[in-house]
Chains A and B, each alone.
Chain A
Amino acid sequence: MRAVLIGFGNLGRGLSRVLIQKASFLRKSYGLIPRVVAIVDEFGAAVDEKGLNLTRLLKVAGKAGTVAAYKGGKRGKLAHRVIEGVEADVVYELTPTNIKTGEPGLTHIKRAMRAGKHVITSNKGPLVVAFKELDSLARRCGVEFRYSASVGGAVPVVGLARELLAGNEIREIRGVLNGTTNYILTRMSTEGAPFEVVLREAQELGVAEKDPTLDIEGIDTACKITILANSLLGMNARLKDVKIAGITRVRPEAIRLAREAGHTIKLIGVAKHGSLEVGPKLVPLGHPLAVGGTLNAVTLELDLAREISITGFGAGPRETSSSLLGDLIDIHRTLGG
């Protein structure tokens, strides 16, 4: 199976490393031989229709700061040309998220679908801005569209709900979907330290970004809840439909009062028909959503199975490649490969 990678940041590199490491496992277990025929970053592209040598490419790109330094590589904005011109089965869209316009990912995905290529993405932007449009475009073009990595990192919530729980009607989805805020709330709880102090610590550790607005204001969680509502509840929701409260006003005293009553405070996203909400909530200690550190957790409320909860790592290149690779194997199986 021939793949193109658009975007070569942490996720693209992490996926490449895993493809190298798992080559013989994939061949033996699934008869799957993934061949990366092109990689594009913001400075250029490396193309080899016989398959790039990923080990060499990682080394060269690591040194030069762009994949264009690979043998025969080209400089320039080449994403569109590669997506449309290079023969491939699947396009990985792994560029940074823009939740306002969805670009450049949105255009990449549309072009790939129209060119008859399957799409796997981790990019929340296009999914938040144009989920329905992309979903029906994929159908019209007769291509597969997978986005497991966009919600929950390694936590396979979309696959769990769609495949393994397919006979259930999903009534409600609740989740801790942002590792940064969960880390901050956990540290505030264990250390009794104020929000600002813990945020600074998280930034020093690289758990929070320099501009943490999207995380701490609950917007990242709201994006994920929007995606889950659209993909699992069949809604046609936009980000503006989510009632959002962040964690900036949560004080250590509040967490202490919660603990005294057997609860902790978590930033929870809730999706059910007719209401989408993100905000701090009281969660009983010992509840499946009372997870610590940077963990993510999701609880599905279902008509048959009642409640199913799942926990895992919501970020990190290696962890997220679990979802990115899983999607590729899933497409391979779907197509009867």
Chain B
Amino acid sequence: MLVRIVMELEDVPGQLLKALEPISHLGGNIQSIMHQRERKTPLGRVPVMLVFEVSERARLNRILAALQARGVRVTQLGEHEGAVRATALLVGHIIHTDIRDTIDRLNALKGVRVFDLSLAMGEPGQESAARMTITADDERRVNLALSNLQRIADRKKLLMITSLEAG
């Protein structure tokens, strides 16, 4: 399968190599690399679009995990290859309501994985915010994950903000 991902790299030497190494090492056949310097993020990271071929789903998951382990943030994952992504924000007492439990409940769903989590702590006593990226094998599973997350959020009194296009 052909996979297209966009990842955000810090604008310092050696970053691209750090990201490419696990891809080829784990059997991904890189076909094109495009820096998107004009779309630099507010934090100064440069989005890089990458197209590579990989033989199976499991291999892709290993590559994505390896990238994550190296601190490479993948912001987009080609959807037509079967990997569907959804992003949701949570606002509330995220740590105190056991974020780990929230993640475990989602990961327990078949074909669903919490792929990325970014947390912004509020001032002491104030609410925090988190951005969660969920990947799933297909549209139906990703919607199931989102409705589960909504139920969890309601129970933990978290405000959940989903994408305009979701559901």
Contact = CB atoms under 8 A, between A and B. Distances in A.
A263 B88 CA distance: 11
Contacts of B91: 249-251, 254
Instruction: Give the bracket for the number of chain A residues in contact with chain B.
Output: 20 to 34
B131 A261 contact: yes
A125 interface: no
26 contacts: A245-B159, A249-B92, A249-B159, A250-B161, A251-B127, A253-B120, A253-B121, A254-B129, A254-B161, A256-B42, A257-B89, A257-B120, A257-B130, A258-B131, A259-B42, A261-B133, A262-B75, A263-B87, A263-B163, A265-B89, A280-B159, A281-B163, A282-B87, A282-B88, A282-B162, A284-B164
A262 B131 CA distance: 12
A279 interface: yes
Given A254-B89, A259-B42, A279 B161 contact: yes
B41 A268 contact: no
Contacts of B161: 250, 254, 258, 265, 279-282
Contacts, number: 73
Interface of A: 174, 245, 249-251, 253-254, 256-263, 265-266, 268, 279-284, 287, 289
A260 B163 contact: no
Given A260-B41, A282-B87, 11 more contacts: A251-B91, A251-B122, A253-B122, A253-B128, A254-B161, A257-B89, A257-B130, A260-B131, A263-B87, A281-B161, A284-B163
A265 B161 CA distance: 8
Of all A-B residue pairs in the complex, the 6 with the closest CB atoms, nearest first, are A253-B120, A254-B129, A257-B131, A253-B129, A282-B163, A249-B159
Nearest to A260: B41
A311 to B, nearest CB: 15
Instruction: Give the bracket for the number of chain B residues in contact with chain A.
Output: 20 to 34
B142 to A, nearest CB: 14
Interface in B40-73: 41-43
A21 B118 CA distance: 55
B51 to A, nearest CB: 19
Nearest to B75: A261
B103 to A, nearest CB: 16
A275 B41 CA distance: 36
Contacts of A256: 42, 120
A305 B122 CA distance: 44
Interface hub of B126, B129, B161 (most chain A Cβ within 10 A): B161
Contacts of B87: 261, 263, 282
A251 B92 CA distance: 10
B102 to A, nearest CB: 16
Contacts of A268: 164
Interface string B89-123: 10110000000000000000000000000101110
B6 to A, nearest CB: 9
Contacts of B163: 263, 281-284
A52 to B, nearest CB: 47
B126 to A, nearest CB: 8
B143 to A, nearest CB: 14
Interface hub of B42, B88, B159, B162 (most chain A Cβ within 10 A): B159
A48 to B, nearest CB: 51
A302 to B, nearest CB: 16
A250 B163 CA distance: 15
Contacts of B128: 253
B42 A254 contact: no
Contacts of B92: 249
Given A245-B159, A254-B89, A281 B120 contact: no
A60 B126 CA distance: 53
A281 B162 contact: yes
A34 B77 CA distance: 59
A250 to B, nearest CB: 7
Contact of A281 (B41, B130, B131, B164): B164
A138 to B, nearest CB: 35
A275 to B, nearest CB: 9
A245 B92 CA distance: 14
Given A249-B92, A251-B129, A261-B131, A289 B159 contact: no
